[in-house]
Structure 1
Amino acid sequence: MNQSSLYLRGLLLSLTLSLAGCASLVSSAASNFSDNLSAAVLNQNDPQTVRDGAPSYLLLLDSFIEGNPENPDVLAAAAQLYASYGAVFATEPGRSARLTERARSYGGKALCLSFAPSCNWREMDFEAFEQTLDELKPRNAEYLLAYSVASLAWIRAHSDDWNALAELPHMEAMLTRYLDIGEPTAAASVYSYLGILATLRPPALGGKPEEGRAYFERAVELTGGADLGVKLEFARGYARLMYDRDLHDRLLQEVLAADPVVDGFTLTNVLAQQDAAALLESADDYF
């Protein structure tokens, strides 16, 4: 899995949840501050500023968890932010593995506190696991998504481990269930995640590229093109897998031609344009 795909899909939600999770433990004034700070970060056009500042929030969330280890909201927020940071900014494999392992641990505990059957998922076979998904309710959705994102980041950091890759069907099942019970505002990100999952492998190895294309197209539709990361992942996941040069170049040129400054998407759009330029530069070698 590429280094920034999970980050681009999860950053908006992870930062919002992390700041809101902290604010839920303090005053309404802090809650207003967290909302404003979250918006400021998401509208930042310099990724390096976020790279340098995010570790402070990781430590802050750790401190809240030390004092409130059974609070699923803060655990879920920490899982999202650790996963996002570990997926894109932790360039050393060992560090990425450590950060995403913590993300998954936090996410698993948050979901376990919210939904008891998930506490035993790792001991279940796939059929038994899948049956428990029907019991998930809207009140569990936030924690399900946090655990899913953290698990995807963990799988990316352990992509050379077949045992980790064997969990991809579980991720797909969880994200599909989220679409039934979760917030509609997160649907575009979830469809993009599903597109990434479906195009990680060629058809001969179990990939589902045409399903992936449908997921990406749905995500583009839901965002109205505002989130450039969706088209980036469409090009990187589907177009490259299927050696569709025309689609690949068209999508990436659309990303580069767009104005990245969009409320709530500026940071991820800037990152998407950086990756789009690199993909176009390497296209002749790839195709």
Structure 2
Amino acid sequence: MTKLVGMFFSAILLAGCVQTMAIRTMGEIMDYGLETFNEEGDLQLAGEALGSNLKLVEALIKGDPENEKLLLMAAQGFNAYALAFAEDDSVERARVFYVRGRDYAMSVLMRNKRIKEALGKDLPSLQVALKTLSKDDVPAVFWAAFGWGSYINITRSDIGAMADLPKVLAMMEFVRDTDPQFYYGGPYLILGSIEGSLPRVLGGKPEKAKEYFERALAVNGGKFLLTYVYYAKTYAVQEQDQELFQSLLAKVDEAPLDILPAARLSNAVAKKKAKLLRSRMNDLF
């Protein structure tokens, strides 16, 4: 009887191990799929594929909720979906997806007890906790701050949401200081967008925003075209510099789609957003 019970529990453990191994193998395959997705230049095809793949990633997370690779894949994926396929058509849907992206990344960060406690406290507490992190933590911090900041950006009428902006800035400043080249100069792009979108009377720093955008362009060689789009959308509009606005969007139009093959999708999104932004020029200036 003891042997039978032992065999029974061994079988259960083996089944659990096999399931975990299968999920992790699928996670590795999905990782390659994410690379292929980022290289896709057809927005319709990419949108259809991303939606179904994100549900598959969430199903895998259900089976292996501690899998950091899958959690960060979901974080990046939902943020990308919100930016590329929801934000321009439905702000409400974009808000939901940005929060999901943020929360998946946060679930990784919350494993750090200091970060978990600091997020519920004041800004200085978070800044101190962030100093305990390393370069390995950059992806989780970046995608959490990206989703959080993007949500705030499209929810500006919510004073409570705006009150969290300093924490987002602190997190992105950690990424800037730790790995400034991450995601094609992503921390500079995001910090530039935040500083450039706020009016001076609300604490906006246009000179700092311009510096951030120029640094982002230096990192990605002007090949990550969303940099130009947000440079135009934030800094150029706030400064009412229509000539700069037009020249930045012209760079997006003139660049070939495959100027950066690994980010072909992001550049296709940039071209779409540049066209939409230009259509609003008379309202912006």
TM range (shorter): 0.7 to 0.9
Please give the alpha-carbon distance, in whole angstroms, between the structure 1 residues aligned to 2:56 and 2:242.
45
Greater RCO (CA < 8 Å, at least 6 residues apart): 1
Are 1:242 and 2:230 matched, yes or no?
no
Question: Which stretch shows the higher mean deviation, 122-131 or 86-95?
Answer: 86-95
Q: Which AA in structure 2 matches 1:67? A: G
Please give the alpha-carbon distance, in whole angstroms, between the structure 2 residues aligned to 1:265 and 1:210.
28
Alpha-carbon distance change, 277 to 158 in structure 1, aligned in 2, over 3 angstroms = closer
Shift of 1:272: 1.4
Shift of 1:189: 1.4
Alignment match, 2:204: 207
Alpha-carbon distance change, 157 to 241 in structure 1, aligned in 2, over 3 angstroms = closer
Please give the alpha-carbon distance, in whole angstroms, between the structure 2 residues aligned to 1:237 and 1:230.
11
Q: How does 1:1-287 map to 2 (within 5 A)?
A: 25-26=24-25, 31=28, 34-35=31-32, 37-90=33-86, 91-113=89-111, 115-182=112-179, 184-186=181-183, 188-262=185-259, 263-287=261-285
Please give the alpha-carbon distance, in whole angstroms, between the structure 2 residues aligned to 1:182 and 1:221.
14
- CA displacement 1:60-108 (0-9 Å, x = unmatched): 1111211111223322221221122133423434433333332222221
Alpha-carbon distance change, 249 to 79 in structure 1, aligned in 2, over 3 angstroms = same
TM-score by length of 1: 0.83
Shift of 1:157: 4.7
Q: Which has the larger radius of gyration?
A: 2
Please give the alpha-carbon distance, in whole angstroms, between the structure 2 residues aligned to 1:57 and 1:120.
33
Alpha-carbon distance change, 270 to 187 in structure 1, aligned in 2, over 3 angstroms = closer
Shift of 1:33: 7.5
Shift of 1:188: 0.8
Alignment match, 1:3: none
Question: Which stretch shows the higher mean deviation, 118-127 or 168-177?
Answer: 118-127
TM-score by length of 2: 0.83
Please give the alpha-carbon distance, in whole angstroms, between the structure 2 residues aligned to 1:212 and 1:139.
27
> Quick one: percent identity of the two aligned structures?
26
Please give the alpha-carbon distance, in whole angstroms, between the structure 2 residues aligned to 1:24 and 1:264.
26
Contact 2:23 2:63 in 1 (8 A): no
Contact 1:232 1:272 in 2 (8 A): yes
How many residues in Structure 1 have an aligned counterpart in Structure 2? Answer: 262
Please give the alpha-carbon distance, in whole angstroms, between the structure 1 residues aligned to 2:30 and 2:113.
34
RMSD: 2.3
Shift of 1:182: 3.1
Question: Which stretch shows the higher mean deviation, 207-216 or 104-113?
Answer: 104-113
Please give the alpha-carbon distance, in whole angstroms, between the structure 2 residues aligned to 1:197 and 1:206.
10
Shift of 1:32: 6.6
Unaligned runs of 5+ in 2: 1-20
